[in-house]
Amino acid sequence: MKFLNLRLKINGEEKIIRVGSRERLLDLLRRLGYKSVKEGCSTGDCGSCNVLVDGVLVNSCLMLAIQARNREITTVEGFVTGRKLHPLQESFLEFAASQCGYCIPGILVTAEYLLSVNPNPSEEEIRRILVGNICRCGGYTKIVEAIRTASLLSRERR
Amino acid sequence: MREIPDFDIYIPSSLSDALDYLSNEGKEAFVIAGCTDFIPMVKRGRIRPIKVLDISHLRELRYITLDSGFIKIGALTTISDLVNSPVFDNRYGGIKSLERYFGVITTRNMATVGGNLASGGERDLIQIFLALDAQVKIRSLQNERVTSPTEAKPNLGELITEITFKDIGADSCMEFSKFEKRAANGISVCTAAVTLKISDNLVEDVKIVVNRVKGREPGRLYRVEESIIGKRIEDAINDVDIMVKSEVDPAGDFRGSKKFRKEITKVLVKRTLIKCIRTITGGVDRV
């Protein structure tokens, strides 16, 4: 078959969508208006298209949309509750951790994944996971500080 | 980068349905799961699929078990599954090291063991499985065959289903080292995979694998292994680097000349052996 009616959940919202066999998850998400998901290298090197699929960090440029059937996708749009930003977003704002901003949604999703598997990462652990997110502005210092601070704040809240 | 062309995709309900499809209408279909190789190859125009079989959802091929002294790994096990499995304790440092050496986190979460073996090329996993003396099970609708990790390229109508090896047991360790030129998604320049078993301070058994034994072929250094079996562990590593250097005949390329690769390989093998010894002896520095 060349088309499939796909059932999936995006940021908590159930959807049934017709997708083509060659459509990548990245293409589908952008077609549906989730523009935080960016295309960079298209080969899984830059991390701009990172999303969570059933809570697992993946490159949406390397996944066919059809493979997301019956699964739950989370993008940065799903981080916001009402008008309240996610603690990671607050921290990125506070540290002015974004320059041109193109890579930041992918980095936020990576950071959310890191904190879900390791709530108290060291600076080295943050830097190590970020090898899969390329920031051409080179502003990693503030990004690392923002993630570290967000992890400390969320620990204090608990 | 090119557009992804249109193709027909088949989503099987089970492994037997997948094998049935491959032996009938899907004979020349590309099999996909993690897609970490498939999409870049399509985008670069290296392959132009007309039919595709998606087996990514077949849970029956995603497992790691230890039963009666044998470890079995389903072909759809991801690299992250391997790294995080409780089956692999500190004796399997080489498998744990994939967290550092195998791509980035997204690649490890998506790429599968079967896909990595089927893709061929200079893959770290092939060397790790060679050092564990692993066998790869390949199935078609009618047959099942078992082969070495270096020969695990499925023919038309076939699928890799499982990787099996004997648990290395007590007083043993499997380690892996890699020299690469960047921190993420780096392609190996030189690697060494070693499985070592010690008994009464003597080397009881050893398997040494490097990524380029001759030309571009990975393989075991049988003569080096034979020469250190039975030796005291302190003596075993003394001349190992010189022996490794004379045994390997790697092809040079833009990542490293032949001379450079020989030098790095000898150092990596010695370091990896020392890592094994330290793990087995509980970190006691005796070498």
> Domain residue spans in chain A?
36-63+74-158
B59-166: same fold as B8-54? no
Grouping H, G, I as helix, E, B as strand and the rest as coil, residue B116 is helix
Give the fold, CATH level 3, of A36-63+74-158. Answer: DNA polymerase; domain 1 (1.10.150)
CATH number, domain B8-54, options 3.40.50.2020, 3.40.50.720, 3.40.50.150, 3.30.43.10: 3.30.43.10
Q: Which two tokens stand for residue B8?
A: 């027909």
pLDDT at A147: 97
Amino acid identity of residue B242, one-letter, is I
Per-residue pLDDT tens digits of chain A, which is 158 residues long: 788 999 999 999 999 999 999 999 999 999 999 999 999 999 999 999 999 999 999 999 999 999 999 999 999 999 998 889 999 999 999 999 999 999 999 999 999 999 999 999 999 999 999 999 999 998 899 999 999 999 988 776 65
Interface contact flag, B5 A22, Cβ < 8 Å: yes
The string of pLDDT tens digits covering residues B137-191 is 999 999 999 999 999 999 999 999 999 999 999 999 999 999 988 766 778 899 9
Give the fold, CATH level 3, of B59-166. Answer: 3.30.465
Look at residues A66, A87, A90, A76 and name the one whose alpha carbon lies nearest to residue A11: A76
The string of pLDDT tens digits covering residues B256-265 is 999 999 999 9
The string of pLDDT tens digits covering residues B182-224 is 766 778 899 999 999 999 999 999 999 999 999 999 999 999 9
Residue of B nearest to A59 (CA): B106
Question: What whole-number distance in Å separates Cα of residue A111 and Cα of residue A118?
Answer: 10
CATH number, domain B172-280, options 1.10.3720.10, 3.90.1580.10, 3.40.50.150, 3.30.390.50: 3.30.390.50
The string of pLDDT tens digits covering residues B225-254 is 999 999 999 898 887 988 999 999 999 999
Question: Within 10 A of A90 (CB to CB), how many other CB atoms are there?
Answer: 15
Question: Within 10 A of A138 (CB to CB), how many other CB atoms are there?
Answer: 8
Distance of CA B51 to the CA centre of its chain: 28
Grouping H, G, I as helix, E, B as strand and the rest as coil, residue B231 is coil
Interface test with A, best of B4, B44, B79, B106 (most A CBs within 10 A): B106
Query: Kind of pairing, strands B30-32 and A72-74?
Result: unpaired
Interface contact flag, A44 B185, Cβ < 8 Å: yes
Give the contacts of B119 (CB within 8 A, at least 6 positions apart): B37
> Domain residue spans in chain B?
8-54, 59-166, 172-280
CB-closest option in B43, B110, B184 to A58: B110
Give the contacts of A129 (CB within 8 A, at least 6 positions apart): A110, A113, A114, A121, B105
10 Å CB burial of residue B59 (0-12, 13-18, 19+) is exposed
- Phi and psi at A145, nearest 5°, equal -60, -40
